[in-house]
Amino acid sequence: MDIGCGTGNVLRFLDPEKYIGVEPSVGMREKFREKHGFEPLDGHFLRIPLTDESVDTVITTYAFHHVPDGEKTDAIKEMLRVLKPGGRIVIADVMFESEEEKMRIGEEDGLKKEMEDEYFATV
């Protein structure tokens, strides 16, 4: 299961027969459907529309930063809820060593404005 799947860019690396996408944005789901011929499920990190222990792997690429810091633990719990025993969670996202490092990089490289434009949960 790919949560926050967007337009499905990661699908090219996966088996489409076993793929389950989850995406909260109607527009992104429509673009996904145009690209791949099927639509991902309507859901988000705190409400995954799947039964308990129903997937082998949960992946999220460049979407977890949209979860507010205070909800990240609940989001992980929701991923664990749908994960089968022995399954794996893979999170690929933007991370910083510290809050100070995030601010330094943001100021020096002009990334702060870009991160705000991309709706990062915390800047």
Count: domains in the chain: 2
More confident residue, 106 or 18: 18
pLDDT at 122: 45
Q: Please give the model's pTM, rounded to 2 decimal places.
A: 0.77
- For the segment 100-109, the average pLDDT, to the nearest whole number, is 71
Same domain, 32 and 87: yes
Same domain, 68 and 88: yes
Same domain, 49 and 108: no
Phi–psi pair at 90, nearest 5 degrees: -125, 120
Same domain, 83 and 50: yes
pLDDT at 123: 43
- Which domain range does residue 115 map to? 97-123
Phi–psi pair at 83, nearest 5 degrees: -80, 135
Residue 88 pLDDT grade (very low, low, confident, very high; cuts 50, 70, 90): very high
Cα separation, 78 vs 31, whole angstroms: 26
Residue 95, helix vs strand vs coil = coil
- Which CATH number belongs to the domain containing residue 28 in this structure? 3.40.50.150
Which letter, b or e, does each residue of 63-91 get, where b requires 16 or more Cβ atoms within 10 Å of its Cβ? Answer: bbbbbeeeeeeebbebbeebbeeebeeeb
Percent pLDDT > 90 in the chain is 72
Residue 1: CA atoms inside 13 Å, Cβ hemisphere, count? 28
From residue 104, give the alpha-carbon distance in Å to each of 64, 117, 119: 22, 18, 19
